[in-house]
Chains A and B, each alone.
Chain A
């Protein structure tokens, strides 16, 4: 892992972006408060409703949980996929193939159950 390079470029871009924003503030100036409406958040003419009153659908939460479950299962497939040809060469092919298909059967059952229980219906 080129950890040094990643850290270096992260710091570099942070400083770069900071300077860019400061520069834009220097040339454009900060916003003058000429009226309250200018500093309110966007709304098309009616009184502003804050984000704390905004209701977020529970579906987003459910989607996130399902994502974590399925993503972990997909990540399990990566090392298997990278070594599959080596396993075939070394003679362990049938065992590795069948065990992954058992795992995939569980995966498919999970996906089928999820669709059947209407966890993915947005209305």
Chain B
């Protein structure tokens, strides 16, 4: 329990922080929905929502009012408890997994240190993967609780898809763990600060301009990981769960109003976890191109001349850096959705099991071999 603090003040701050991260996640969803609608309109040469407010920004408030005035509906054949519980439970795995991702350097204030994340987990990777894959249960609950065959079939497809891509996802991270030798996400980010430099076969390679990011060590792993997260979050081109030509709307056929919105928040939450993990594993997390947090801190200290202010600014700058990377990956998610068509179901399973799994395995073996040979054979 020590990780949640020892004094009453620390515990209170840490609990409030978890709530804040959750609310951040929830309020990012309307922005993403707006971005998705405007972005898709730009891609398809349309206008998109542009009537309500400037650039259609108030459209979301109008939508929220519409959701609130929808009458509450439970299908008679459905299971009442599961029908209500599924959308609420859809929020939980996404939120808990997102809290384990560090978003900035710890904030040091007069002796107390606050982590800019919901809570620190020592086995970060295993925790995030394990918790986020619990989403398969909420999808099955929704499919079963609706009492509709379309919902059930959509839920079966979605859970089969999620567990199939879980394998490629898990294996593509083995290379990352081999490189950094830790499960802790903060330690991983700490290993990626500064300029690119590594030694292998007795040589030391270093570059003054490139950052020390994971993408230079694990390019294949990055592609496999990103592709697998698309399937995990049920996004196109892998959104077989709601193939509307075959299954009406998949597992949320019977849902409407606020309950539907909660499934949306869950889905976008999984996109956020994927983007955060992409940034953490392969793009240095909150670290800034080529600089360590210590260098940034010293630069800021020279600028403002106050330790407290420099600490706060350091945290803010790194937070912005993290969010920039985070936003870029979220945009790629939206961009891909409006670019690629959907796969057929057997193609989806073939790609997961026969293409991505062997490639991820080859990547892990190649990484292990290079690390092994690189430290034993010195030329």
CA distance A40 to B150 in the complex (A): 13
Q: Which residues on the B side are within 8 Å of A120 (C-beta)?
A: 349-350, 353-354
Q: Which among B71, B153, B163, B353 is the interface contact of A30 at CB below 8 angstroms?
A: B71
Q: How far is the CB of A86 from chain B (nearest CB, A)?
A: 7
| Residue A83, interface by CB 8 Å | yes
Q: How far is the CA of A2 from the CA of B248 in the complex (A)?
A: 41
Our count of residue pairs bridging A and B at CB distance below 8 angstroms stands at 213
CB distance from A72 to the nearest CB of B (A): 11
- Asked whether B346 lies within 8 Å of A122 as measured between CB atoms, the reply is yes
Interface string of B141-159 (1 = CB under 8 A from A): 0001011111111001000
Distance (whole angstroms) from the CB of B95 to the closest CB of chain A: 6
In the complex, the answer to whether A71 meets B368 with C-beta atoms within 8 Å is: no
Q: A11-66: which have CB < 8 Å to B?
A: 12-14, 16-18, 20-21, 23-25, 27-32, 39-42, 48-51, 53-54, 56, 59-60, 63-64
Indicate if the CB atoms of B71 and A64 lie closer than 8 Å. no
Contact B88 A5 (CB under 8 A): no
Q: Does chain B have a CB within 8 A of A77?
A: yes
Task: Choose among B70, B118, B167 the residue that contacts A70 (Cβ–Cβ < 8 A).
Answer: B167
Given known contacts A51-B147, A122-B345, A5 and B22 CB-to-CB distance under 8 angstroms: no
- Asked whether, in the complex, the Cβ of B174 is within 8 Å of the Cβ of A77, the reply is yes
In the complex, B48 has a CB within 8 A of chain A:
no
Q: How large is the interface on A (under 10, 10 to 19, 20 to 34, 35 or more residues)?
A: 35 or more
* A85 touching B258 in the complex, CB below 8 Å, given contacts A9-B118, A13-B91, A120-B349: no
B18 and A9 contacting across the interface, CB-CB below 8 Å: yes
Q: Are A41 and B254 in contact (CB under 8 A)?
A: yes
- B: number of interface residues (CB 8 Å): 84
Q: Determine the chain A residues whose CB is within 8 A of the CB of B75 once the complex forms.
A: 39-41
Q: Interface code B97-121, partner A: CB below 8 Å = 1, 0 otherwise?
A: 0010000000000000000001111
CA distance A104 to B365 in the complex (A): 9
Within 8 A of A (CB), among B241-291: 248, 253-254, 257-259, 262
9 A-B contact pairs sorted by A residue (CB < 8 Å): A13-B22, A13-B88, A24-B72, A41-B78, A74-B167, A78-B126, A78-B174, A88-B375, A108-B361
Indicate which residue in B14, B88, B365 contacts A21 across the interface (CB closer than 8 Å).
Answer: B88
Complex alpha-carbon distance, A13 and B254, angstroms? 23
Residues A29 and B181 in contact, CB atoms below 8 Å apart: no
Q: Output the residue of A5, A50, A75 with the most chain B CB within 10 A.
A: A5
In angstroms, Cα B210 to Cα A72, docked, is 37
